[in-house]
Amino acid sequence: MKQKIHTENAPAAIGPYSQGLAFKDLVFTSGQLPLDPNTMAFAEGGIKEQSRQSLANLKAVLEAAGAGLDSVLKTTCFLSDMENFAAFNEVYTEVFGTDVAPARSCIEAARLPKDALVEVEAIAFIK
């Protein structure tokens, strides 16, 4: 049976969806925007700051499910501009490293919700 994941440490859903769902020993997150969960405003700065916030939100949702960044199997990353790919990769590497980094897809989206620069979703296993 699937279980809804919710945490106050990540932005509330801005539509008809859950922050994440757990099924058996897997957790599937919704895309995490670079919104501060307290103010619902974007992280100030550019792609690096927004990437750090999106990944912090992802971490919060994963932890609420009993998972963590170290249990991420696959990410899907959406960038508003592929020109930000190298800068995004710098932050992504800070978070996930390179030794056993998750499988990943990274695509440019014509437009992200609220005109974000980045959005990240993940599939992870529950520890």
Question: Could you tell me how far CA 15 lies from the centroid of its own chain?
Answer: 16
Instruction: Report the catalytic residues.
Output: 106
Cα–Cα distances in angstroms (integers) from residue 125 to residues 11, 17, 49, 69, 96, in the given order: 22, 20, 27, 10, 15
DSSP, res 110: S
What are 120's two structure tokens?
A: 């990240």
Assign residue 79 a region (left: φ > 0; alpha: ψ between -120 and 50; beta: otherwise): beta
Q: How far apart are CA 109 and CA 74, in angstroms?
A: 18
